[in-house]
Structure 1
C-alpha cells in the first residue's frame, strides 16, 4: 500500500502546529502555562495547541491517532489498528521551556508496526524533514509555515537525504538532556577502536535527523523514550538508508506495542 497521498496532510499539520507553537514561544508575556503530568514531565500551552491542530488535521484520514497528549486507548483496541498515526505535538518540551530552539513537531504513519511516513518540523529553524517509503527522505530549509506550497513545490525545493557530507572519524550524536553512563561507555568503546570520535549534543528528534541526513554517523540512546518520540524520525531514517535498531544493532524497533516505551536503541546507516 502506498501512503504518499497522506504525506502532504501530515506536512501541513506539522507546519500549522509549528506556527501555533511559535506564537506562544515568541510571546514575551507568556509563562507557557507549565503543568506537570503524572510522570512529572512538563506540559505547556504549546503542547496542547499543537495537539489540537494536528488531531483535527489528521482526523480527515481513515486512521486512528496515537498522540502523547491524548488519552491512550486500551491495547485490546489498539492491537486491531493495522495503520495509525503516531504523534508527538511538541517533542523536546524541556528544550522549549529552556528556549534553546531544539524542539520539534513529530508526525508518523505506522503500518503493521513499521513507520512508513514521517514528518519532523523544527519551528525555530524553519526546517522540515519529511519522508515516505515510496518517495525517499527530504530536508527543506527556511520554509515559511504561513505559505502553503504544493507537494511538488516542496519536493522541488527540498534536498534528498542523505546529503553528501564528509567528516573525519566517527561523529556521534547524543541527548542534550538525557546522556547516560551507558552512552558515555559506548562512546569510549568507539574511541578505543582507534578512530577519532566527535560528539554532538542535541535535543528532541533532531538527533535521528542528524544521522539520516549524514551529519552524524550514529546515535546511541540508552535512556527511556516513547514511541511518539521516535516514530517520525524512524520513518525518515529508513527512507534515507538508515535504521533504528535495538542495541543488538540487528533488530529494528517496532510500534503500537502493548507497552509504548521503547527499548534502548541505536540509529545508524544500514550498511555500516
Structure 2
C-alpha cells in the first residue's frame, strides 16, 4: 500500500493512543520509572505504545515497527528493511510528568532511510499534523483541515526570527548560537515534534536542538516540515537519515521554515 493509503488509519491509531494518554493524564494516576538511558517512561507511554503496535500490526502485518519503547533491534536485523514504521508513543514524557500538556503521539513511515509519511497527534487539544511525501502538510483541528506552509523570509527585509524554545530551556543557550544583532522573538513550546510543527505552520521560523534526541523524535516532523516548505537538517545543513547506524541518537539539528536564508552564515561559527 502507498503512504497516502495508510495515512488516515495511522491518524486513527495515533488518536486512539492519544485518547488513552489523555485519560491517564487527567486521572493523574500513572507510574514512572527511569530507563537505562536515564530518561523517564510512564505507564502512559507503555499503554500508548501497545495501542500503536497492535494497530499497526493489524494494518500492515508485513511492515516492521521500530518504537522508542521497543527499540532493542540490532542494525544487522533492520538494515535490510526497505520500509518500516517509526514510533514515539509519547513525545514529551517530561512535559507529561510536569503537567504542561505539550506532548504528542508520533507515527512515521520510513522508506529507504527517509520519512515518507508522518503523523503528530496532540492528545490535550485534538490537533493533528500530518504529511505524505509529495502531497503537502496538513493540520486537523476542531473538525477542520487546512494545508500548512512555513513562513518564507526575505533575509534583507526581515531582520528578526521567531525562535521555538522549550519551556524549561534557558533561551540564552540557543540565542548564543546566532549572530547578533539579529533579533529573536521566543515562541515557547514543549516537545521536539511540537516545536518542529510550529515551524511547519509558520508560527516559528526556527528550532535549534542541541542535546539528545532519537530518530523517533524527528521522523514524522521531518516529512511534515519538508512538505510545508521548510527543512530539518543537521548542523552541517544536511537532512537527517534513518536506520543507518547502530545507535538511534540523532545529531544536533535545526528546523527552519525558510531554507532560502543563509543559515550557514546565521549560525555562529559557520
Q: Specify the TM-score bucket, using the shorter chain as the normaliser.
A: 0.7 to 0.9
Give how far 1:164 is off: 7.0
For 2:115 and 2:71, locate their aligned partners in 1 and report how far apart those are by CA, in whole Å. 21
- Structure 1: give runs of 5+ residues left out of the alignment: 144-156
Query: TM-score of the superposition, structure 1-length normalised?
Result: 0.87
Calculate the aligned-residue CA RMSD, in Å: 2.1
Does 1:210 find its partner at 2:198?
yes
Does 1:255 find its partner at 2:255?
no
* SS, match of residue 27 in structure 2: coil
String of CA shifts for 1:57-106, please: whole Å, max 9, x gaps.
11121311010011421100111011111100000001001111000000
String of CA shifts for 1:144-200, please: whole Å, max 9, x gaps.
xxxxxxxxxxxxx3110116799982101123345587523114x2xx1x4421012
- How do 1:1-272 and structure 2 match up within 5 A? 2-28=2-28, 30=29, 32-59=30-57, 60-61=59-60, 62-142=62-142, 157-162=144-149, 169-177=160-168, 183-187=174-178, 189=179, 192=180, 194-204=181-191, 205-249=193-237, 251-258=238-245, 259-268=247-256, 269-272=258-261
For 1:120 and 1:179, locate their aligned partners in 2 and report how far apart those are by CA, in whole Å. 26
Contact 2:150 2:229 in 1 (8 A): no
User: What is the number of equivalent residue pairs in this alignment?
Assistant: 252
For 1:57 and 1:168, locate their aligned partners in 2 and report how far apart those are by CA, in whole Å. 47
- Structure 2: give runs of 5+ residues left out of the alignment: 262-270
For 1:235 and 1:207, locate their aligned partners in 2 and report how far apart those are by CA, in whole Å. 14
For 2:17 and 2:63, locate their aligned partners in 1 and report how far apart those are by CA, in whole Å. 19
Out of 160-169 and 132-141, give the one that drifted further. Answer: 160-169
Q: Aligned pair in 2 of structure 1 residues 244, 18: CA closer, same or farther (>3 Å)?
A: same
Contact 2:107 2:118 in 1 (8 A): yes
For 1:95 and 1:76, locate their aligned partners in 2 and report how far apart those are by CA, in whole Å. 34
Contact 2:151 2:205 in 1 (8 A): no
Query: TM-score of the superposition, structure 2-length normalised?
Result: 0.87
Give how far 1:203 is off: 1.1
